[in-house]
Copies of this chain bind each other. A is one copy, B any other.
Amino acid sequence: MSKTFEKLQPYLDKVMALQTARNLFEWDSQTLAPIESTDYTSKVIGILADEYMKCLTCDEVKKLVKKLKEDKEQEELTSNEKAIIHELNKTIEELESIPPQEFREFNEFTSLSNRAWVKAKKENDYSHFAPYLKKVIEFKKKFAKYRAKNNQEPYEVMLKDFEECFGIKDLDSFFDKIKKEIVPLLKEVAKKADTVDKDYNFLKYDIEKQKEFCKFLAGYIGFDFNKGVIAESAHPFTLNLHNHDVRITNRFIENNLESAIFSVIHEGGHAIYEMNIDDSITMTPVGKGTSMGMHESQSRFYENIIGRSEAFWTPIYQKLVDTYPENLRNVSLKQFIKGINKAEPSLIRTEADELSYPLHIIIRYEIERMIFTEDVDIERLPEIWNKKYEEYLGLTPPNYSQGILQDTHWSYGEFGYFPSYAIGSAVAAQLYAKIKEVMPFEEYLREGNLLPIREYLRDNIHKYGATKNTNQILLDVTGEEFNADYYVKYLKEKYEKLYEL
**Which residue numbers of A lie inside 8 Å of B, CB to CB?**
13-14, 16-17, 20-21, 24-25, 28, 32-37, 39-41, 43-44, 47-48, 51, 225-229, 231, 241-245, 282-283
If the complex has contacts A14-B47, A24-B25, are A226 and B40 also in contact, measured as CB distance less than 8 A?
Answer: no
Contact in complex: B228, A34 (CB < 8 Å): yes
Please measure, in the bound complex, the distance between the C-alpha atom of A245 and the C-alpha atom of B48, giving whole angstroms: 18
- In the complex, the answer to whether B16 meets A44 with C-beta atoms within 8 Å is yes
B contact residues around A243 at 8 Å (CB) = 40
The answer on a CB contact under 8 Å between A44 and B229 is no
**Besides A17-B43, A17-B48, 16 new A-B residue pairs in contact (Cβ under 8 A), listed by A number:** A16-B44, A20-B44, A21-B25, A28-B28, A32-B231, A33-B245, A34-B225, A34-B226, A34-B245, A37-B245, A39-B244, A40-B242, A40-B245, A41-B241, A43-B283, A44-B283
Measured CB to CB, the closest approach of chain B to A497, in angstroms, equals: 40
Give the docked Cα–Cα distance between A200 and B475 (Å). 70
Pairwise interchain contact B244-A37, C-beta atoms closer than 8 A: yes
Q: Which residues of B contact A43 (CB under 8 A)?
A: 13, 17, 283
**A87: shortest Cβ distance to chain B, in Å?**
19
Indicate which residue in B21, B51, B231 contacts A44 across the interface (CB closer than 8 Å). B21
**Chain B residues closer than 8 Å to A242, beta-carbon distance:** 37, 40-41
**Residues on the B chain within 8 Å of A17, using CB:** 43-44, 47-48, 51
Q: Which residues of B contact A48 (CB under 8 A)?
A: 17, 21
The CA of A66 and the CA of B78, in the complex, are separated in Å by 48
The closest CB in chain B to the CB of A27 belongs to B28
Separation in Å of the A221 CB from the closest CB of chain B? 17
**Shortest distance from the beta carbon of A207 to any chain B beta carbon, whole Å:** 14
- Complex contact B229–A36 (CB within 8 A): no
Q: Could you list some 8 contacts between A and B, CB below 8 A?
A: A17-B47, A21-B44, A33-B229, A34-B226, A34-B227, A37-B227, A40-B244, A40-B283
Alpha-carbon separation in the docked complex, A228 to B47 (Å): 22
Q: If A21-B21, A25-B21, A28-B24 touch, does A244 touch B36 (CB 8 Å cutoff)?
A: yes
Residues in chain B near residue A51, CB distance under 8 A? 14, 17, 51
Closest to A21 in B: B21
- Chain B residues positioned under 8 Å from A47 (CB to CB): 13-14, 16-17
Complex: A36 Cα to B242 Cα, angstroms: 11
Q: Given the complex of chains A and B, what is the CA–CA distance between A336 and B473 in angstroms?
A: 68
Instruction: Report the Cα distance A43→B17, complex, angstroms.
Output: 8
Task: Give Cα A116–Cα B354 distance, bound, in whole angstroms.
Answer: 47
